Amino acid sequence: MIVFSTPDIVAISGFILAWTVYAVTLERTPHGRDSLNARMNIYREVWIRRMLDRETRMVDMQIMLSLQNGTAFFASTTLLAIGGGLTLLKSTEEALSVLSTLPLGIRASPALWEIKCIGLILIFVYAFFKFAWAYRLFNYVAIMLGAMPFAAKRDTPEAQSHVMRTTRLFQSAGRHFNRGQRAFLFALGYLGWFISPWVLLISTLAVVVVMWRRQFDSDARQAVVK
């Protein structure tokens, strides 16, 4: 039995290609070095260097705590999304029965519906691992902040090396957090496949356009560039 139609294959291939090209462009190309994410990496280093000059660092630890809490929120939300996806997978017949009554033109076999549900669950599983690892990395950064040399030793080679190690770890945490959020946004585009493969192509394009504008043509980016 043929599960995937030609439009389905085209749509899901376009979805995977769009995600891959966007991620590679943002993280691996010179153009990506001008993105909002890349600009914030610069300010991460600025933060760590300025913190080295301060004797009292309680405010810095409070900021780090807020970053950890935000990451933990997304990780727990992802678990809820995974649970929702599993529930949807378990209720295939009920879901198809309800959707068949709606004027959306949804016509999917149970096998195809289950494949769509599994794909959505896998996206959220990927996002969970990214958020969980980012949370762990933020914990490591907090430890590195606690081990930061005193301000009186800020000009020593040890202090400068510690700043760079902390910055690289901090940037890695931000990179994994960004990947988790990217998976969340692409999951929204993926939902279009539950309606039709053509809606998947449109929703994927919409997600890419929104994310691209936020990274390269948003007020937030202009604020950190000027």
In this predicted model, what pLDDT tens digit does every residue of 180-189 receive, in sequence order? Answer: 999 999 999 9
Would you state the structure tokens that stand for residue 167, as one six-digit string?
């910055």
Structural domains in the chain (count): 1
Q: Between 26 and 91, where is the model more confident? A: 26
Mean predicted confidence (pLDDT) in 161-167: 95
Residue range of the domain that includes 118: 6-221
Residue 204 lies in a domain: yes
Q: For 55-110, write each residue's pLDDT tens digit.
A: 888 889 999 999 999 999 999 999 999 999 998 888 878 877 766 666 665 666 78
Question: CA 196 to CA 203: how far, in whole Å?
Answer: 11
Residue 134 covered by a domain: yes
For residue 56, what pLDDT is reported?
84
Residue 128 belongs to a domain: yes
Report the alpha-carbon distance of residue 30 to residue 167 in Å, rounded: 20
Per-residue model confidence (pLDDT) at position 129: 97
Listed in sequence order, the DSSP H helices in the chain are 6-28, 36-52, 58-90, 92-99, 110-146, 157-190, 197-216, 219-225
- Which sign, positive or negative, has the C-alpha torsion 170, 19, 204, 214? positive
d(CA 174, CA 67): 10
Q: Note the pTM of the prediction, 2 decimals.
A: 0.91
Closest by CA position to 47, among listed 32, 35, 33, 64: 64
Give 67 or 196, the one with higher predicted confidence.
67
pLDDT tens for 100-144 read 666 665 666 788 888 999 999 999 999 999 999 999 999 999 999
pLDDT of residue 205: 97
Using alpha carbons, list the distances in angstroms from residue 73 to 79, 88, 131: 10, 23, 9
Inter-residue contact 200 to 188 (CB < 8 Å): no
Would you say 189 and 203 are in contact if contact means Cβ atoms under 8 Å apart?
A: yes
Quote the pLDDT of residue 54.
86
Whether 1 is covered by a domain: the verdict is: no
CB atoms within 10 A of CB 225: 9
Q: Which two tokens stand for residue 118?
A: 């599994």
pLDDT for res 107: 66
Give the per-residue pLDDT at 151: 87
What CA–CA distances, in Å, run from 216 to 39, 45, 65, 172?
10, 21, 28, 21
Q: Which residue has the tokens 């294959």?
A: 9
Q: Is residue 226 part of a domain?
A: no
Using an 8 Å Cβ cutoff, are 195 and 106 in contact?
Answer: yes
Residue 185: what pLDDT?
Answer: 96
